[in-house]
């Protein structure tokens, strides 16, 4: 019996009980769809996070305080208060560092903001004019913080678009209006252009005020939470990191880099760390979804075993008429592969549709993985063969006389 005839006969057999065939393929459809959708969601989230980090600035180096020490115990990173405005000024003026373009001293803290009857708990950034250039901010309306604002400790603020909507309402221009940060009243002078983002450090849900005003009037501190430095190019990032590190060690009278009271992170290091974390998360999601493929394969095997039982007399008749064992095995294997193949096609369409739908709903880019589709389809084919082999061998091993006597 030729293979093409077996394929046509398999289609005819499967179409006799459409409900059973559909239910058998459903497990594969859900499994394939889940694998593709979850891997695409994971990769889309990873791409979204990477875009957000890259939007914070090009060739960016971020200096943060190290962990303070209590006795021999080092506390969490950032708990130290060793970075000062004098450090930032020294970095920008020293001839020892030749690989940087600009320096932005910063201090951030969360405050309760109030405007009219609306309020929001938001991150407030104390900044200098260089912040706008280093972090690639742009304004949709108004102006950014100026040197004059910093020198005079002006009570002016630039708000992100999300903050503007939360405090002043959708479609309302906040420029010229007032808001309260803590117990101080500030005048809004600008609104930043949306970058896109979510979560605790959403760049669109922040407020920018002069660094001097932040330190002296809002937070009451004389140290910085970070210093952002823009290198001249990506090729000198490592050199800039080394120059900054040795310069600050010398300023802080330290000789051992391992015990430094500061940390310098490059944008590439942050991206690498994020990629590792999100990659592990995506793999975990794919592994969880793959379990449903296994369940779908077991479902197909169960359906095929039931089919063998129902078609025992037919199998006996065919063997009595001279059908070879190989032909019977091929017949049932082809039926199993057809179920998984077409279930895989429908599952692929289902998974891609879910990916696009969730990306529109959650606001992150679509990242359909061709590798995930190929892997899922390949696994579905293997499942069809593996889980169809036992029912096929069982059918082929039936004795013709016993099979013909089956009731």
| pLDDT at position 20 over 60 | yes
Query: What percent of the chain lies above the pLDDT cut of 70?
Result: 76
pLDDT digits (tens, 9 = 90+) for 319-338: 666 667 777 777 777 777 78
52, pLDDT greater than 70: no
Per-range mean pLDDT, top range of 90-94, 255-259, 307-311, 345-349: 90-94
Q: What pLDDT is recorded for position 76?
A: 47
List pLDDT tens digits, range 92-107.
Answer: 999 999 888 899 999 9
pLDDT tens for residues 360-377? 776 666 677 677 677 777
- Structure-token match 């006996």, residue found: 316
Find the helix packing angle between 325-362 and 267-310, rounded to 10°: 140
In this predicted structure, the answer to whether residue 346 has a pLDDT above a threshold of 90 is: no
Among the listed residues 80, 59, 52, 53, the one whose alpha carbon sits nearest the alpha carbon of residue 244: 59
For residue range 184-210, what is the model confidence (pLDDT) as tens digits?
Answer: 999 999 999 987 665 556 788 999 999
What are the two backbone dihedrals, phi and then psi, of residue 201, each rounded to the nearest 5 degrees? Answer: -110, 40
The pTM is what? 0.62
Residue whose entry in the numeric block shows the structure tokens 């910093």 = 150
In the predicted model, what is the mean pLDDT of residues 116-139? 91
181 pLDDT more than 90: yes
Burial of 155 (0-12, 13-18, 19+ CB in 10 A): middle
pLDDT band at 215 (very low <50, low <70, confident <90, very high): very high
d(CA 83, CA 80): 8
Q: Where are the beta strands (DSSP E) in 178-248?
A: 178-181, 184-192, 206-210, 226-231
- Res. 126: pLDDT tops 90: yes
Residue 260's CB is within 10 A of a number of other CB atoms, namely 17
Q: What radius of gyration, in Å, describes the C-alpha atoms of the chain?
A: 32
């Amino acid at each position: 019996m030729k293979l093409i005839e077996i394929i046509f006969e398999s289609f005819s057999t499967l179409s006799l009980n459409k409900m059973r065939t559909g239910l058998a393929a459903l497990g594969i459809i859900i499994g394939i769809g889940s694998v593709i959708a979850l891997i695409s969601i994971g990769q889309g989230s990873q791409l979204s996070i990477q875009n957000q980090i890259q939007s914070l600035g090009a060739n960016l180096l971020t200096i943060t305080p190290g962990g303070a020490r209590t006795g021999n115990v080092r506390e969490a990173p950032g708990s130290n208060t060793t970075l000062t405005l004098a450090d930032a000024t020294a970095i920008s003026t020293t001839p020892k560092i030749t690989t940087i373009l600009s320096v932005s001293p910063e201090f951030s803290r969360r405050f309760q903001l109030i405007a009219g009857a609306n309020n929001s708990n938001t991150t407030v950034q104390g900044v200098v004019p260089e912040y706008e250039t280093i972090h690639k901010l742009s304004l949709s309306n108004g102006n950014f913080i100026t040197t004059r604002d910093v020198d005079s400790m002006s009570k002016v603020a630039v708000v992100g678009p999300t903050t503007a909507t939360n405090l002043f309402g959708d479609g309302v221009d906040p420029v010229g209006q007032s808001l309260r940060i803590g117990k101080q009243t500030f005048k809004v002078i600008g609104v930043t252009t949306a970058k896109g983002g979510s979560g605790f450090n959403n760049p669109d849900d922040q407020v920018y005020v002069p660094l001097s005003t932040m330190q002296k009037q809002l937070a009451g501190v004389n140290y910085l939470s970070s210093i952002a430095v823009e290198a001249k190019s990506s090729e000198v990032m490592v050199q800039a990191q080394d120059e900054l590190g040795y310069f600050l060690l010398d300023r802080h009278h330290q000789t051992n880099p391992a015990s430094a009271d500061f940390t310098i992170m490059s944008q590439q290091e942050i991206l690498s760390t994020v990629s590792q974390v999100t990659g592990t998360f995506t793999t975990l999601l794919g592994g969880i979804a793959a379990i449903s493929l296994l369940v779908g394969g077991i479902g197909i095997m169960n359906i095929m075993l039931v089919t063998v039982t129902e078609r025992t007399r037919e199998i006996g008749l065919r063997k009595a008429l001279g059908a070879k064992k190989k032909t019977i095995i091929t017949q049932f294997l082809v039926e199993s592969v057809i179920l998984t193949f077409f279930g895989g096609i429908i599952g692929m369409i289902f998974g891609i549709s879910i990916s696009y739908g969730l990306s529109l709903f959650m606001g992150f880019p679509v990242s359909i993985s061709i590798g995930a589709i190929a892997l899922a389809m390949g696994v579905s084919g293997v499942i069809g063969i593996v889980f169809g082999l036992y029912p096929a061998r069982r059918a082929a091993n039936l004795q013709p006389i016993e099979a013909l006597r089956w009731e």
